[in-house]
């Protein structure tokens, strides 16, 4: 692996922004921050937004802010939920970096996590997102076996824009991994703000596929912590300060209209991108219409 710049040395890459939002992470935030701050690629800043934690999370964050000048710390005046926090942390970037990534206050990163991503994405101008495999851990750092160990989604070898957006709809998986990958800032800046809906990471990745390719690093470079099983009702509670009325409708239907609006209507005036967005939305409609039939007519497992 090529040597990479250390914090305070001459830069060979533009600054990278790492974005974190927290809520009641006192049990894991120290381990997470230590793993991030000890990366072998040190040329980054870390923007942290606390979402009105009621435990000692914010006090711990202030402690780390005083120790490391790369940390910028902010706090919401009232609890907002993770959809807002994805959006707000991106808006808090004050110097345009070359790349950025969201990081979680309960996950753990190997010390080569960032350098491995930077080394690869810098080779491919057309790549909008690079992410790696992960393992799952519980609250005690014990590995959790799971059925998605074999997730290997990527589309950087697909040159056709239309084939690429079709592929992400029908073959995409592991969006919870992708959203914590390294993004090319100049591409995401062109997109709409982070969506306010259920499974927003999936919708964000779908939209991103219009603008660039997705690259997978085959190594396990971070450990995702799972404490609660996925539950749509819980996701509504933690995702929003006030649950939007439109989420009383099945999320698959809601997300079709959100995707259509974001990729066809509310985009820069580029005819090809609008047509591509329409193609993406139609593929989504067919894919999730089939899932809807499986779930509610044939009662099959999703």
Query: Residues 214-233, buried b or exposed e (16+ Cβ, 10 A)?
Result: bbbbeeebbbbbeeeeeeee
Q: Measured in whole angstroms, how far is the alpha carbon of residue 22 from the centre of its chain?
A: 14
Q: Does residue 197 sit in helix, strand or coil? A: coil
In order along its 302 residues, the chain shows pLDDT tens digits of 333 333 333 344 458 999 999 999 999 999 999 999 999 999 999 999 999 999 999 999 999 999 999 999 999 999 999 999 999 999 999 889 999 999 999 999 999 999 999 999 999 999 999 999 999 999 999 998 876 555 678 888 898 999 999 999 999 989 999 999 999 999 999 999 999 999 999 999 999 999 999 999 999 999 999 877 667 677 888 889 888 999 888 888 999 999 999 999 987 657 778 999 999 999 999 998 887 777 766 655 54
Model pLDDT, residue 258: 95
**CB environment 238-251: b (16+ within 10 A), e (fewer):** ebbeeeeeebeeeb
- The whole-number pLDDT of residue 147 equals 61
Domains and CATH numbers, the chain: 16-296 (3.90.550.10)
Instruction: Tell me which residue of 153, 154, 152, 134 sits closest to 143, measured CA to CA.
Output: 134
Name the pairing type of β-strands 99-102 and 16-22. Answer: parallel
- Please give the Cα distance from 179 to 224 (Å, whole number): 12
């Amino acid at each position: 692996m090529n040597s990479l710049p250390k914090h305070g040395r001459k830069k060979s890459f533009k600054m990278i922004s790492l974005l974190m939002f927290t809520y009641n992470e006192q049990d894991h935030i120290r381990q997470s921050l230590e793993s991030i701050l000890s990366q072998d690629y040190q040329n980054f800043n870390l923007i942290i937004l606390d979402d009105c934690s009621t435990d000692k999370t914010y006090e711990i964050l202030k402690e780390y802010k005083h120790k490391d000048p790369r940390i910028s710390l902010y706090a919401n005046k009232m609890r907002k939920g993770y959809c807002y926090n994805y959006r707000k942390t991106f808006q808090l970037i004050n110097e345009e970096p070359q790349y950025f990534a969201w990081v979680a206050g309960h996950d753990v990163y190997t010390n080569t996590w960032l350098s491995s991503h930077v080394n690869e994405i810098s080779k491919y101008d057309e790549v909008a997102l690079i992410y790696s495999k992960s393992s799952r851990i519980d609250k005690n750092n014990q590995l959790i076996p799971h059925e998605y160990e074999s997730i290997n989604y990527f589309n950087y070898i697909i040159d056709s824009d239309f084939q690429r957006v079709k592929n992400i709809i029908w073959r995409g998986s592991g969006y919870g991994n992708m959203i914590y990958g390294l993004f090319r800032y100049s591409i995401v800046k062109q997109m709409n703000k982070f969506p306010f809906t259920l499974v927003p990471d999936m919708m964000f990745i779908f939209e991103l596929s219009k603008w660039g390719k997705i690259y997978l690093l085959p190594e396990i470079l971070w450990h995702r912590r799972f404490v609660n099983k996925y539950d749509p009702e819980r996701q509504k509670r933690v995702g929003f300060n006030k649950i939007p009325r439109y989420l009383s409708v099945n999320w698959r239907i809601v997300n079709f209209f959100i995707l259509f609006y974001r990729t066809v209507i509310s985009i820069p005036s580029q005819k090809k991108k609008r047509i591509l967005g329409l193609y993406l939305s139609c593929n989504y409609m067919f894919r999730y219409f089939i899932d809807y039939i499986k779930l509610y007519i044939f009662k099959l497992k999703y």
